[in-house]
Chains A and B, each alone.
Chain A
């Protein structure tokens, strides 16, 4: 097999492969910067929490319209928004901190969801319908991902400065502008948007994984905010590409393959990154003369 067949062929020969690549790359583009901010604000576990929080919304969608993708996704998005916004508000207006606030609300939401679903009587696996797979991206799913990414990137660009200030020095921001609170909530909405869109198209593992792992790995290479985002996006895109290739050539499931590639990059970065273990701890420190 020549190099072309190895690296490019699969995407050329099979429609589902090129769509999978496009879908994963777009999500990586959109989710990576969001993941960077989440990481910097010490909210890295919110992705997983959110996957559970959307259940009652999907449940309501299911109760109203049956096992249909659109109402369940919209319901899930609504539920995720409510949980995220409530958690954000509570953490700003009371002594409760962000992570605990989110934990409390997602647990309540999850329990509500389980109860709602059991009211219908059958133990239908809602999650199965809600969470997709990267190999089955039809046109609707691609359009949805595209829309999510566009909205997310534009919104992020618009709120970049106040978000930066809000993360760095919230008291200062409060003293010069009223934008702190709304910007914080908009950011949370973007998190939910990227996650729910990602769940729907790619499944939980891939959506959360592509959001957090590249950001975490980027930490070991660069420092500045913009640089972190760029490196994270690059890692996300590379993981998608390599993961899909692995899934194709080695016949392993695609979602886990992509995430494991991202994970391998993370471990590698941990070891040999500019700010990784080896450079910071094992190499004898040097110092300049001034």
Chain B
């Protein structure tokens, strides 16, 4: 498969010899990776919000406007993920294609927030526990949606660069195959966990689509917040929740005091998970630098924790 791809690319390249790569921009790291996979050498992708960064609260910089000015297409997630999107486009007077890659995804609303303390405060978004209202934008957390993303990306690239369409189609097919394969793997891995034990507490509210697609229940921690000092009641509430709901794993890595979470895990027998990647990829050396790796990493953390290892 790879060899075929390489041959075709080579043929196309020699056909369009010395054509410079098409500059495109992706809003954040996950999209950047996906666009790169589909576009291959024909595109030069610049990502605005890099690895380990928070897209929700990002403030566009002048360089971003400059880069966008040069680009032929701007790939964004949509669904309200990039609040700064319109501002940036307006500011640069961008005339290229703004591609909302989540078009066609079956969306749902954000899960209800029981924690009264931080909700309905959009300006509060710079804290770790940012919340959204309305649609849940994290559609890529289902690999099935990932396929839709890839398809949209391919369509868009084909439109702005008809000559390379064959390349893009081939790349997209190959990539989609990988995604589909991983999807099956994930489903199989999770199937190994009994249904009633697929319960996890995490401060990220980004896993709605994952929950839907793979049958894992993600709950928000009751009480504990990530920045203010915890009260005994908060800790007790969380312990109660873990015990009562049979939660298997805690993924609360950005707490104000990590020892607190360890205490809770020790007292309830739940496992402490590591860092789940929700909204961004990692640095190249951290093991979740591509979309697929990110998924593999998350599963590698989730499944053992759920199985109690």
Contacts and interface: CB of A to CB of B under 8 A. Distances in A.
Q: Do chains A and B touch in the complex (CB under 8 A)?
A: yes
Interface of A: 10, 13-17, 20, 128, 132-133, 135-138, 244, 247-257
Contacts of B231: 247-248, 250-254, 257
B229 A248 contact: no
Contacts of A247: 231-233
B252 to A, nearest CB: 13
Contacts of A137: 263
Interface range on chain B (Cβ under 8 Å from partner): 20 to 34
Given A133-B259, A248-B236, 9 more contacts: A10-B236, A15-B266, A16-B263, A17-B232, A128-B257, A247-B231, A248-B232, A250-B231, A250-B233
B239 interface: yes
A251 B262 contact: no
Given A133-B229, A247-B232, A251-B233, A16 B239 contact: yes
A249 B233 contact: yes
A17 B259 CA distance: 15
Contacts of A250: 231, 233
Interface string B159-199: 00000000000000000000000000000000000000000
Contacts of A244: 232
B128 to A, nearest CB: 14
29 contacts: A10-B232, A10-B236, A13-B236, A14-B235, A14-B236, A14-B267, A16-B236, A16-B239, A16-B264, A16-B267, A17-B236, A128-B257, A133-B229, A133-B230, A136-B257, A136-B259, A136-B263, A137-B263, A138-B263, A247-B231, A248-B231, A249-B233, A250-B231, A250-B233, A251-B234, A252-B231, A253-B228, A255-B229, A256-B229
A108 B178 CA distance: 60
B84 to A, nearest CB: 26
Interface string B228-270: 1111111110010000000000000000110110111011000
Nearest to A256: B229
Interface in B250-308: 256-257, 259-260, 262-264, 266-267
A135 B234 CA distance: 10
Contact of A136 (B223, B228, B233, B262): B262
Contacts of B235: 14, 16, 135
B232 A138 contact: no
Can you list the 3 inter-chain pairs with the closest CB atoms, starting with the nearest?
A251-B233, A247-B232, A136-B259
A136 B260 contact: yes
Interface of B: 223, 228-236, 239, 256-257, 259-260, 262-264, 266-267
B260 A135 contact: yes
A133 B260 contact: yes
A244 to B, nearest CB: 6
A185 to B, nearest CB: 33
A154 to B, nearest CB: 29
Nearest to B261: A136
A13 B237 CA distance: 12
A244 B231 CA distance: 9
Contacts of B234: 251
A256 B228 CA distance: 12
A274 B256 CA distance: 43
Given A14-B239, A16-B239, A254 B232 contact: yes
A138 B262 contact: yes
B258 to A, nearest CB: 9
